[in-house]
Amino acid sequence: MIIRQYDPERDHDEVDLLESEVFSSQDNLYDEGDEFLEFLRSTENYVPELELIAEDEGGRIIGHILLTPHMLETPFGPTEILYLSPLSVIMDMQRKGIGSALVRDSIRIAEELGYRAVFLVGEPAFYSRLGFVPASRYGISSLEEVPDEVLLCYVIADDFMESIHEESDA
């Protein structure tokens, strides 16, 4: 398996097909995954280095991940974070470590780029194995009707919480 940066000219159609197949097979907030993906790519916050794909030995795209910068409103003030969505692996390749590898590589790149935390709404059993914890542990909850146990956070920088307090004191 190879993990590499998404190439819009080469990968666009195959990634859109992957996203449509994965998300149409499950209950999801984003029934129109390709439209959601296009929206994220069209924003000024889009960082190409944070969109990765996984390919098998034959060059077939088997997984995809995107992290997008967002401003998070916290009780302590706004701070920039990354939001992980979507993470997709084709059905016949799930449970083989591909999603985990995509998450780890994207977090490594995020750290290299200077980001301090990644948030997502997802399955705690899967993401906790990768170091994600409920965001409520940091006093952060969703303004939407998202249960606290599925709003998860991965802290990249050890000073993430301290920096939020310092920003609010300024």
Task: Indicate the domain borders of the chain.
Answer: 2-169
Q: pLDDT tens across 120-167, in order?
A: 999 999 999 999 999 888 878 776 778 889 999 999 998 887 666 554
Q: Name the percent of the chain in helix, strand, coil, to the closest 5.
A: 40, 30, 30
136 burial via Cβ count (<10 Å: 0-12, 13-18, 19+): middle
The domain 2-169 having CATH identifier 1.10.486.10: the answer here is no
pLDDT per residue over 52-103, tens digit each? 999 999 999 999 999 999 998 766 678 889 999 999 999 889 999 999 999 9
Q: Looking at residue 169, what is its pLDDT?
A: 47
pLDDT of residue 77: 73
pTM: 0.87
